[in-house]
Structure 1
C-alpha cells in the first residue's frame, strides 16, 4: 500500500483529529518530505486537507471518489481493484479468473462501465460518478442448484447494505432487480463457470449495479429506471457493506432466514403478473417464493413454479 493510502486510512480512522507530520514520519519511517508529497497527492485526488504550522494536518472534506484504500478501511483483508472506467466489472472478473488463481471474495469496483450488462443480454446503463458498479468473485465449489440462491443472497445483501447506510428501503422484484417505489434502482447479474461432470461450480461472479444518484437515463428506460437519490451515500462504504452482507449469507444459503429476508422484501407476492411459459405469455398472481427461491404463481386453473425468466407486474 502506498504511503498516501496509509495516511488516508489514518484520516478516515481519526476524521476529527489533526495528524502530526512528525508522528506520521515516525509511524511509517519516512521523511517529512515524503509525508508532504503524500498529502499533496491526496489533495490532487480531491481531498481537502488543511496544514496548520506546529500542529499538523486536518482532514476537512471527504470526497465520493472510489478508492481501494477507503474500501479496504472497512474490509482490510479483501483484495479490491478499482477502475475509474471499465467495459464491465463482470467481464474483467472473467479475464482475471482466466489469468490466475483469484482469492475468494476479490472485489472489482468501477465508477463507470462502458459496456455494462444485465440478464438475458440486456445492457445496464452505467454512467460515471453517479452509480456504483461492482463484481465479487466467489469460489464456493457448490452444487449447481445453489446458483439461484446466490443471486437471492446478493439481492438481500444489497438491500441490507443500502438500508444500513441510508434511510432508503428497497423491494426485490424476483429474481434480481431492486426497486424503490415503481422504479428500478439496482440490477444483479450472477454468472458461473461449472464442472458438469462433478456437478460443481468452479467460480461465480456476482455483478451488482446501483443507481445511487443517477437522475438522467436513456429514453428507452426512463419509464422504469430510478435512483436511490441520496447525495450523502459513501460509495466506498456501500461497496464494503455489500461485500460484508453477501459473504455472511453465502455461508448460510440454506438457512431459512435467507428466504424469510427475501420474501419480506418481495415486490411480487400478492400482485398480478405476466410471464412467459413455454413461449406463451401468461397471467397469474404471484403467491409465494418457495424455499428453493422459485416463484409460485396461481393461474386460473393451476399453480406453476417458475425457476427463471422475466416477469412484469400487470397491476401495481
Structure 2
C-alpha cells in the first residue's frame, strides 16, 4: 500500500512538465493544502527539486539519486510485486522484518528493502556484509500455489533473475554456484536466502532474501573475503545505479515467477544450467561420511544436483559439502 507521500510523487510524476495545483493535490489525496506544503518541504530535504508557482501549482524539476520508496516506485514496471513496498534506511535484517509482516498477513508480493543491514545473514546463519548505499538488500514475501517440496526451486529461479539482471545492465558474465550464490569471475557478488512457513502439503508463505553487492570498492570487502567476494563495480570498474538495478530485478522477477507458476520448472532449469558454475567439471563431494569425486551434469527437475560418479552412477544431491574451489 502506497504512503501519502508516494502517491503525491506519483501524481507529480504523471503530470510531468505540467504544474498541478495544490487544490487538485489536496482533493485527490484527501489532505489539507497545508499538509501538501509540508510534504513538499520534506521532499526537498530528501533531494527533490520542486518548483512552486503561486496560483499555478507544483512540479518536480529533478529527482534525487538516493534510493528510497519514492524513487524506487518511479519507473518501477511491475503489476503486483512491490505493490506494498517498505523501505528502511537501516535495519538489522530485512528477512526478520519480512517474517514478522508475513505472520501478520502481509500480502503476496510485499517487498522490504533497506539501504543498510546491521545483521544481514545468508545460509547457515553466515554473516552478510550489507554496507549503506553499496548494494541491494531486500526480502520479498510470496504466497505461491506450489507444494512445500517445490520451494527450493524458487531459490534457483531467483538466482537466474539476478544473473539475467546483471547481464542485461553490465558487460559482465555471471555464473550461478548451486544452490544460491551468483558469481562473477569466480567471486561471489550475490546470495539468496529462502525460508518458508508451511504445513506438510501447504505453503503459508515464503520469504526470499537477496543480497547483491553493487558499488563496493575493494577496501569495503573484508580482507579475509577478498579472494572469494566482489561487487559489480569492482568487476566492471564502473559505478552502477543501484535503484535501476533494483527496479530491473523486481520487474524481471515478477515476469519469471509468473512463468514458473504457470509453466513449471523446465524453463528455469534450462536457464540455470546456462549459468551453472563448473557445469561439466569434476568436483569433490563430502556426504554421508564419504568423500568422492563426481562430474557435475546439471540440475534435476526438482532442483537437485545431478552428479555422475566414477562408476558412472548418476546421483541426485540435495545436500552436501561440495568443494567448488581448489582451496576448499
State the TM bucket, normalised to the shorter chain: 0.7 to 0.9
SS of 2:117's partner is: coil
CA distance in 2 between counterparts of 1:233 and 1:82 reads 14
- Deviation at residue 269 of structure 1 after TM alignment: 0.5
* Cα displacement string for residues 4-38 of structure 1 (whole angstroms, at most 9, x for unaligned residues): 32232245456xx434152x532442666544432
CA distance in 2 between counterparts of 1:260 and 1:221 reads 31
CA distance in 1 between counterparts of 2:42 and 2:69 reads 13
Alpha carbons of 1:25 and 1:291: their partners in 2 closer, same or farther (altered >3 Å)?
Answer: same
* 1:313 corresponding residue in structure 2: 324
SS of 2:232's partner is: coil
- Deviation at residue 207 of structure 1 after TM alignment: 0.9
CA distance in 2 between counterparts of 1:213 and 1:121 reads 24
Alpha carbons of 1:255 and 1:2: their partners in 2 closer, same or farther (altered >3 Å)?
Answer: closer
Alpha carbons of 1:25 and 1:226: their partners in 2 closer, same or farther (altered >3 Å)?
Answer: farther
Which one of 165, 172, 175 corresponds to residue 171 of structure 1?
A: 175
Over 6 Å off, 4+ runs:
52-55
Greater shift in the superposed pair: 206-215 or 271-280:
271-280
TM-score by length of 2: 0.82
* 1:304 corresponding residue in structure 2: 315
CA distance in 1 between counterparts of 2:167 and 2:9 reads 26
* 1:48 corresponding residue in structure 2: 49
* 2:39 corresponding residue in structure 1: 38
TM-score by length of 1: 0.85
* 1:213 corresponding residue in structure 2: 215
* Cα displacement string for residues 241-271 of structure 1 (whole angstroms, at most 9, x for unaligned residues): 2542453244146242121111111112122
Answering whether residue 240 of structure 2 is matched by residue 231 of structure 1, we say yes
RMSD: 2.9
Alignment of 1:85-164 (within 5 A): 85-98=90-103, 100-164=104-168
Answering whether residue 264 of structure 2 is matched by residue 263 of structure 1, we say no
* Cα displacement string for residues 139-183 of structure 1 (whole angstroms, at most 9, x for unaligned residues): 225322202211111112222333444444422111111111111
CA distance in 1 between counterparts of 2:13 and 2:278 reads 41
- For structure 1, the 5+ residue unaligned runs are none
CA distance in 1 between counterparts of 2:26 and 2:77 reads 21
CA distance in 2 between counterparts of 1:68 and 1:246 reads 25
* Cα displacement string for residues 196-238 of structure 1 (whole angstroms, at most 9, x for unaligned residues): 3xx3322211111111112211222111111122422425524
CA distance in 1 between counterparts of 2:145 and 2:58 reads 50
CA distance in 2 between counterparts of 1:2 and 1:81 reads 10
Greater shift in the superposed pair: 298-307 or 161-170:
161-170
* 1:7 corresponding residue in structure 2: 8
SS of 2:153's partner is: helix
* 1:25 corresponding residue in structure 2: 23
- For structure 2, the 5+ residue unaligned runs are 234-238
- Deviation at residue 44 of structure 1 after TM alignment: 0.7
How many residue pairs were aligned?
310
Greater shift in the superposed pair: 291-300 or 174-183:
291-300
CA distance in 2 between counterparts of 1:64 and 1:55 reads 25
SS of 1:301's partner is: coil
- Deviation at residue 301 of structure 1 after TM alignment: 2.5
